[in-house]
Structures are given as structure tokens and as C-alpha cells.
Amino acid sequence: MDLAILREWFDRVDSSQTGNITASQLKNALAVGNLDLPLSVVQQMIRMYDFDKNGTMSFEVCLIAEFVALNQYLLKVQQAFSDLERGQGFLLHDEVHEALVKLGFSLDSPAFYTACESFDQKKNGTFRLDAFISLCIFLQSARNLFNSFDTNKQGRVTLDMNQFIYCTANCRI
């Protein structure tokens, strides 16, 4: 990854030169690259990597660059998609499952098909890159939230009502 090129891209998106980009700015920039993601998904992307919790993406925060971390994640997701789409421009359910496994998501069949149903925009069993990214952002956000409660790393959590409210308030996709 060439940080100079990434910085140049970031600076173009940051048209107001604040050092931060908003969800709307990021959504518009991704749309120029043919990634037409819903604003809610872009907002979730920012929440995943907004280390200073200011609601925007910055290029340099502390020792970890928010924007660089998000870019690395998106490149990983795009690579998993590209490895399986075979020039078709989309993935079928079996290929989505295989790509998710490559990304470290191991869902049982009911969870997998429920998640797929939610993100299969045309309800035809195919996932274009934008739908696949949306699905991955949802799953990664859910995993991050789950892990914050699974402190013993057992793969199970017990929530009280307050924790459940916290979870549902933080899973806005």
C-alpha cells in the first residue's frame, strides 16, 4: 500500500481541508469508484475505525491511522471477492460463504442465510461487490461488538437488559 497515494486520495475527499472526512464525503468518493454503498453502511465503516470516536475518518490519529486501517480492511474484503467472482462481477451464495470463511467468519447455515437474505439487494442470490462489502461491514461490526462482551473468548455471552439495549443501539445497519 502506497501511503502517499492514499494520502493524496484522502486529501481530495477532504474538500474542506479539515483533516477529517465525513460519512457523506466518503460515500461520494466510494461512489466515484463504483462502490455505491448505502450511507448507513458507510457510517458503520467509519464507526468501526473511528478510534478517537469523533464520527469522522482522519488520516492520522495517535499511532494508528483510521483511514489507513479502513482501507486495509476494504482491500482485504475486495481481494476475497475478486478471488472468487471469476470475471462475473458477482458471487453466488456458495462463493459468498467461501469468501466469508477466508475473511475469518464461520457462520452456521441459519445465520449465514439470514445475513445473506438481508444484504441480497435484488433477492436473486447474487452479491455484487457493494452488497458483499455491506455484508462484511455488518459481520465485522457484529463481531467487534460481540467480542466486547465475550471477555473470556468462549464464543458465548450472557447479556442483561442494559447490555442488550447497548448492543441494539450500536448495531445500526
Provide CB contacts within 8 A for 110, sequence distance 6+.
Answer: none
Which three three-digit cell numbers place residue 149? Answer: 462482551
- Please give the C-alpha separations between residue 39 and each of 28, 49, 104, 122, in angstroms, as whole numbers: 9, 16, 25, 18
SS3 content of the chain, % helix, strand, coil (to 5): 60, 5, 35
* CB of 40 closer than 8 Å to CB of 173: yes
State residue 76's pLDDT score: 95
State residue 152's pLDDT score: 86
* CB of 57 closer than 8 Å to CB of 21: yes
State residue 64's pLDDT score: 59
State residue 63's pLDDT score: 47
Which three three-digit cell numbers place residue 161? Answer: 437488559
State residue 59's pLDDT score: 81
Number of domains observed in the structure of the chain: 1
State residue 172's pLDDT score: 52
Which three three-digit cell numbers place residue 141? Answer: 461490526
Provide φ and ψ at 146, rounded to 5°. Answer: -60, -45
Containing domain of residue 128, as a range? 3-170
pLDDT by residue for the chain (173 residues), tens only, comes to 577 888 888 888 888 888 889 999 999 888 887 888 889 889 988 888 888 888 888 887 554 578 888 888 999 999 999 999 988 999 999 999 999 999 999 999 999 999 999 888 788 889 999 999 999 999 998 898 888 888 888 888 888 888 888 777 766 54
State residue 171's pLDDT score: 62
State residue 101's pLDDT score: 96
Q: What is the CATH number of the domain that holds 59?
A: 1.10.238.10
Coil, strand or helix at 57: strand
State residue 83's pLDDT score: 95
Amino acid sitting at position 22: T
Amino acid sitting at position 158: T
What is the reported pTM? 0.80
